[in-house]
Amino acid sequence: MTVPLLVLAGLDPTGGAGLTADVAMARSLGLHPLPVPTVLTVQNSLRFSGMRPVEPAYIRSAVGSLAEEFRFDVAKVGLVPVDDEAWIDEVGDILFLRCRCVVIDPILRPTAARSESAISPAFLRFISRPGVVITPNLRELKAIASALGVSQTDPALLAQDVGRVTGAAVVSTFEGEKAAVLVVDKGMSSEVPVMLVPTKRPVHGTGCRFSTAIACGVAQKKGLLDSVKTAIKKVTELVENRTEISGSGQDYLS
Ligand SMILES: Nc1ncnc2c1ncn2[C@@H]1O[C@H](COP(=O)(O)OP(=O)(O)OP(=O)(O)O)[C@@H](O)[C@H]1O
Ligand SMILES: [Mg+2]
């Protein structure tokens, strides 16, 4: 039986990341994605020019309508207007009414954007709801920790403290001497090594696909660590098979 996955993410018109990339990832892992846009962005792979949030009323109706037909209990959340408190609270209510687990990719700055959004108290409440998994990169983990008043220099301790304070499971990607993904779940920490595929140019959309692949595993009732291992394997394969698009500034994934 095919498992549905609710996917809330930004519509990136390059097609390289965000909602369309998440849909491709969920399909390739054998799930049925239910895509609901959170924001509409104006961007290409070199420049992020802005975004327009989708009305929470639309998201409420869309998710309600999907729930009449599909049984889903896991959602993946990508780009959201992090500093819009009313938006975050309302969309949080919509999601947590229906989902046992919400995998949140805390994108504070779309890859091509210059500045990072400030983390609002509403966003901290959002990631502190029961059943959350967050998938920050190291920069995002540090920003969340700082907004929570957590000060640690070691990434592993930082992830543990963020997990303890928010109650969320933390899946943190970082590149130190060797690339690895750190998983903190129910007080237990594990480090999963990653063999990075060398690339000449940046690759668009690895982070969002990685986070979605984890949500897919959880929706299929796999454990978090297993889901992370599958996500690492899957993104590695995609990076190995990346394509160059004529004139474009980054490499793209299928
Ligand atoms: N070159 C690569 N080779 C293999 N795996 C990769 C590569 N780049 C990224 N990944 C996988 O993607 C995961 C997400 O890491 P990444 O650094 O892309 O996140 P990010 O900084 O959030 O990126 P994004 O800008 O796309 O949001 C990594 O943990 C790794 O598993
Ligand atoms: Mg990211």
| Residue 199 beta carbon below 6 angstroms from any ligand 1 atom | yes
What is the rounded CA–CA span in Å between residue 138 and residue 146?
A: 12
Q: Which atom of ligand 1 is nearest to the CA of 205?
A: 26
Dig out the tokens for 226 from the structure. Answer: 């297993």
For 12: left if phi > 0, alpha if psi spans -120 to 50, otherwise beta; the answer is beta
For residue 113, give the 3-state DSSP assignment: coil
Instruction: Evaluate: CB of 173 within 6 angstroms of ligand 1.
Output: yes
| Domains (range + CATH), the chain | 4-252 (3.40.1190.20)
Q: What is the pLDDT along the chain (254 residues), one digit of tens a residue?
A: 999 999 999 999 999 999 999 999 999 999 999 999 999 999 987 889 999 999 999 999 999 999 999 999 999 999 999 999 999 999 999 999 999 999 999 999 877 777 777 899 999 999 999 999 999 999 999 999 999 999 888 999 999 999 999 999 999 998 877 799 999 999 999 999 999 999 999 999 999 999 999 999 999 999 999 999 999 999 999 999 999 998 888 999 99
Could you tell me the CA-to-CA distances from 190 to 167, 185, 233 in Å, in that order? 17, 9, 17
Q: Whose CA is nearest to atom 7 of ligand 1?
A: 196
The owner of tokens 């992830």 is 159
Give the nearest ligand 1 atom to 232 CA: 31
DSSP secondary structure code for residue 17 in this structure? S
Do the strands 243-244 and 251-252 form a parallel or antiparallel pair, or are they unpaired? antiparallel
Identify the helix (H) or strand (E) that includes residue 237.
helix 224-240
Interacting residues of 151 by C-beta distance below 8 A, sequence separation 6+: 145
Q: Please, how many CA atoms are within 13 Å of residue 213, restricted to the half-sphere of its CB?
A: 24
Closest residue by CA, ligand 1 atom 28:
173
